[in-house]
Amino acid sequence: MPLMKLLPKEKIGLEKKFKKVVKTPAGFDFYVAIHDFIGYIESNQPLAKTLLSSSKPNRELKIPDKYNNLKRIHQGLEDAKDKSGNDLGHARYAVLIELNRIKNKEASESNSFWKKRELFRKFTNDIYARLSDDGSKIETAAV
């Protein structure tokens, strides 16, 4: 599937959300920045569809897997807002627990989301590069 051409407004919005992820130091705000980045993509279904397609470049770059990993963060923060008491299921509840530990500054290397924080930063970079029309990446050195 060829990449869709982003409209200038969409490109600016995506870049703004991406830069926030890159600039935010490791901590709960970093996961909120990822939530906002994925939320922006999810609000634009053609962007989300591009990432989930099984095109050859997506398969080679493992884009759908990376996107789904980041979507777990997004869903976890959405679940944290939901006070309905609905059963989330084990996987979503486990994500919620780990994100809450990070929020409460109880993060440790046994927390899989904390341990993978720089990997999530790289996934965000890969997703942004795939969506940007020029394929550019922005250096994501640890902050």
Helix (H) or strand (E) run with residue 121 in it: helix 117-131
Q: Which of 125, 113, 141 is nearest to 15 (CA)?
A: 125
How many domains, in total, are found in the chain?
A: 1
At 133 the pLDDT is 59
Report residue 139 as tokens.
């250096």
Burial-class residue 3 by CB neighbours within 10 Å (0-12, 13-18, 19+): middle
Region 6-28: mean pLDDT is: 91
More confident residue, 142 or 35: 35
Domain that holds residue 89: 8-131
Report residue 109 as tokens.
């290397």
Contacts of 35 (CB under 8 A, 6+ apart): 73, 74, 77, 78
Write down the pTM of the prediction: 0.86
In this structure, is residue 2 part of a structural domain? no
In this structure, is residue 121 part of a structural domain? yes
At 88 the pLDDT is 75
In this structure, is residue 48 part of a structural domain? yes
Report residue 63 as tokens.
């884009």
Calculated CA dihedral for residues 21, 142, 137, 3, nearest 10 degrees: -50
In this structure, is residue 139 part of a structural domain? no
Q: Tell me: the pLDDT tens digits for 124-141? A: 999 999 998 544 444 444
- d(CA 65, CA 87) in angstroms, rounded, equals 25
In this structure, is residue 76 part of a structural domain? yes
